Chains A and B, each alone.
Chain A
């Protein structure tokens, strides 16, 4: 198999007339990395991917794959391959011919290209279905064929446009693991567009959170989750409470974030609750419990903290039931100062 290629975006811009879909983004993806472009729909992540693939012209800025600038190089000569959102399998060709398509375009003889296609189908465990038409396959099977078709050109970079969004949740988790394994085995660079933060967390070496055509934050999943740079990232990545600047005396013009599982809650009248977290909390606020949700491992409590849109506390299930709290109770919520970090506006 080929080796991965690095991808570098330098002030890359996409504009359609007046509207700017991608606004001067800079990003460096090392060779062999799994990169997830994460963001809500319309944030520019798909446009970015399509520019890297060569299916969308680059309005301004540069794109480097490996060491060469490829702004105007046609898709097939960039060393990239794309897996489309709806898989885009050719409905009139069976799996083998679908996978062999790019070899046919290069003029390889029929026997050789079909043999190589079969080998690639074996790699994605699709040998028993090799002679079927795409319409006779399930979503997961179609995806494997699409994957095989993309990989047969031995690309240095594989581009995946929401590859898991058409699958049911169970299959999604399964295919997610297979994608990660494949990427590790092949050692090529994957750039994966998704709007699911759990997907990005599970797969990526680098998560790139995008919003309004700009990169809000890029970093390892752990970094992004533990130190979201902006309120948008904290909100999108989930698991955080956003506190307004007024609530805390320290610096932080853009407000603060604290993880929902790093907040302790105890009844206001009991003074101090169970020893563990509560005792260590050095900042507290008083609030009323709005609602309770039992989630299995944890219990989610919604509190009405003034100045916040929502304030959720995630409490370990057994700890919650050792000192139960009911809806309407006055409670104190507290956290350690080191768990709070400031956001930029």
Chain B
């Protein structure tokens, strides 16, 4: 086909009109396309996140008696919860666990990450040691917790060994079924959640920054405090969010390791559920959710983690 004369008058009149309508259709499809692409994820989030939480929120306003729950809109669940001294005590206790677990997981996690990132020279060894850190995760949380029992018990390995060595003559009672045991289990279970993000942050620190600091006369501790710590902040924040939220929501560790002598918000909710007091449990869950969200928001306010994501 040859390209020849310019389009005739009729041609120029008809074509733009058709083209315009085609463009409009294409345009409207193009406008919807992004929403279509986001739809599957939005559905997943709706069904598995928004609906359950909304249900909990709704049920928290229902009424109940000893045999059934009654759809209603009452504030009594919240009233009982927030005016009970036990609630406040348990919240404080849980916050204490979270704080202690955070302090120890941070101290250990930061040290391990520092060692892996700055003292292990070869990438192969970094990976090997990293995998070694994950070995405990090959078995379940509960088994890892229970394995402390024969070790820490009154006639357990540790006490027998200490008595045998003549260090003590009475078994140490605080080792098991105590707050000590609970925090120990948390640290054991969750330290890796600190190690990984902090290591990730540290691995991104340009090695020449360390040299530049040394060139400026900084000692090892000054480098740690002035360069490594500030640049590891995003990792510390992410690790802290993991540890704090896990501890705040936990109930099995407290139940197993304290031998029922200590309580957390989780055990409180579990008890409500065991008594079929779903609305009370729901109200407690909503309060817990708000408290944890507040804590996470505070951490995100303090440290910008965006560049880490």
Tell me the smallest distance from the CB of B218 to a CB of chain A, in Å. 5
In the complex, are the beta carbons of B218 and A92 less than 8 A apart? no
Enumerate chain B residues within 8 angstroms of A54, measured Cβ to Cβ: 215
- Partner of A104 from the list B208, B215, B226 (CB cut-off 8 Å) is B226
A153-B211 in contact (CB<8A):
no
Asked if A102 and B216 sit within 8 Å, CB to CB, the answer is yes
B216 touches which of A86, A92, A101 (Cβ 8 Å): A101
A111 lies within 8 A of chain B by Cβ:
no
Q: Report the minimum CB–CB distance from B39 to chain A (whole Å).
A: 36
Which residues of A have CB within 8 Å of B215?
A: 53-55, 75-76, 81-82, 102
A-B contact count (CB 8 A): 59
| Residue B24, interface by CB 8 Å | no
Separation of A104 and B219 alpha carbons in the complex (Å) = 12
Residues of A within 8 A of B211 (CB): 55, 82, 84, 88
Mark contacts of B209-253 with chain A using CB atoms, 8 A cut-off: 1 yes-contact digit, 0 otherwise: 101111111110010001100110000000000000000000000
Q: Inside 8 A of B206's CB, which chain A residues have their CB?
A: 86, 88
Taking CB atoms, residues of chain B closer than 8 Å to A101 are: 213, 216, 218, 226
With a CB–CB cut-off of 8 A, which chain B residues contact A85? 208
Which residues 55-108 of A have a CB within 8 angstroms of B?
A: 55, 74-77, 81-82, 84-86, 88-92, 101-102, 104-106
Please report the C-alpha to C-alpha distance between residue A66 and residue B108 in the assembled complex, in whole angstroms: 46
Chain A hits for B208, CB < 8 A: 84-86, 88
CB distance from B180 to the nearest CB of A (A): 37
Contact assessment for A84 and B212 in the assembled complex, using a CB-CB cutoff below 8 Å: yes
* A55 to B227 alpha-carbon distance, docked (Å): 17
A residues less than 8 Å from B212 (CB atoms): 82, 84, 88-90, 149
Contacts of A74 in B (CB 8 A): 214
- Rounded to whole Å, the gap between the CB of B304 and the closest CB of chain A is 11
Distance in Å: Cβ of A148 to nearest Cβ of chain B:
12
**B230, A76: Cβ atoms under 8 Å?**
no
Q: Which range contains the number of B residues in contact with the other chain? A: 10 to 19
Known pairs A90-B227, A92-B230, A153-B216; A105 contacts B209 (CB<8 A) = no
Within 8 A of B (CB), among A99-128: 101-102, 104-106
Asked whether B231 lies within 8 Å of A76 as measured between CB atoms, the reply is no
- In terms of DSSP, what is the predominant structure of the interface of chain A? loop
Partner of B217, one of A90, A91, A102: A102
Whether the pair A88, B209 counts as a contact (CB closer than 8 A) is yes
Chain A residues whose CB sits within 8 angstroms of the CB of B213 once the complex forms: 90, 101, 105
B271 to chain A, nearest CB (A): 46
CB distance from A72 to the nearest CB of B (A): 14
Whether B222 pairs with A105 at a CB distance below 8 angstroms is yes
Chain B: CB-nearest residue to A85: B208
| Docked complex Cα distance between A20 and B172 (Å) | 60
Q: How far is the CA of A89 from the CA of B217 in the complex (A)?
A: 15
A153 to B214: give the CA distance in the assembly, Å: 13
Cβ–Cβ < 8 Å partners of A106 in chain B: 217
CB-defined contacts of A102 to chain B, threshold 8 Å: 215-218
Which residues of chain A (306-332) have a CB below 8 Å from chain B?
none
A46 to B95, CA, bound (A): 53
Give Cα A101 to B209, complex, Å.
Answer: 12
A49 to chain B, nearest CB (A): 12
Q: Which of A88, A92, A153 contacts B231 (CB 8 A)?
A: A92
Q: Are B216 and A76 in contact (CB under 8 A)?
A: yes
- In the docked arrangement, what's the CA distance between A86 and B209, Å? 10
Question: Quick one: closest B residue to A55, CB to CB?
Answer: B211
Q: Which chain A residues numbered 219 to 277 have a C-beta less than 8 Å away from chain B?
A: none
**Mask of B183-209 contacts with A, CB within 8 angstroms, 1/0:** 000000000000000000000001011
Smallest Cβ-Cβ distance to B218: which chain A residue: A105
A101 to B219 alpha-carbon distance, docked (Å): 12
Contacts of A104 in B (CB 8 A): 226
A134-187 contacts to B, CB under 8 A, are 149, 153
User: With a CB–CB cut-off of 8 A, which chain B residues contact A75?
Assistant: 214-215, 217
Q: Which residues of B contact A77 (CB under 8 A)?
A: 217
* Chain B residues near A153 (CB-CB < 8 A): 216-217
**Which chain B residues lie closer than 8 Å to A55 at the CB level?**
211, 214-215
Listed residue (B209, B212, B218) with the most chain A CB atoms within 10 angstroms of its CB: B212
Q: Which residues of A contact B209 (CB under 8 A)?
A: 88, 90
**Cβ of A91: which chain B residues have Cβ within 8 Å of it?**
231
Complex Cα spacing A88 to B216, Å: 12
Instruction: Report the bound CA distance from A65 to B206 in whole Å.
Output: 29
List, in ascending order, chain B residues with CB within 8 A of A82's CB. 211-212, 215
Asked if A76 meets B214 with Cβ closer than 8 Å, knowing A86-B208, A88-B209, A105-B222, the reply is yes
A-B CB contact pairs (8 Å), 11 listed: A55-B211, A81-B215, A82-B212, A82-B215, A84-B212, A85-B208, A88-B211, A101-B213, A102-B216, A105-B218, A153-B216
Q: A84-B208, A90-B227, A105-B219 are in contact. List 11 more A-B contacts (CB 8 A).
A: A54-B215, A55-B211, A55-B215, A82-B211, A86-B208, A88-B211, A92-B231, A101-B213, A101-B226, A105-B213, A153-B216
Residues of A within 8 A of B (CB): 53-55, 74-77, 81-82, 84-86, 88-92, 101-102, 104-106, 149, 153
Query: Which 6 A-B residue pairings sit nearest by Cβ, starting from the closest?
Result: A76-B217, A102-B216, A88-B212, A88-B208, A105-B218, A92-B230
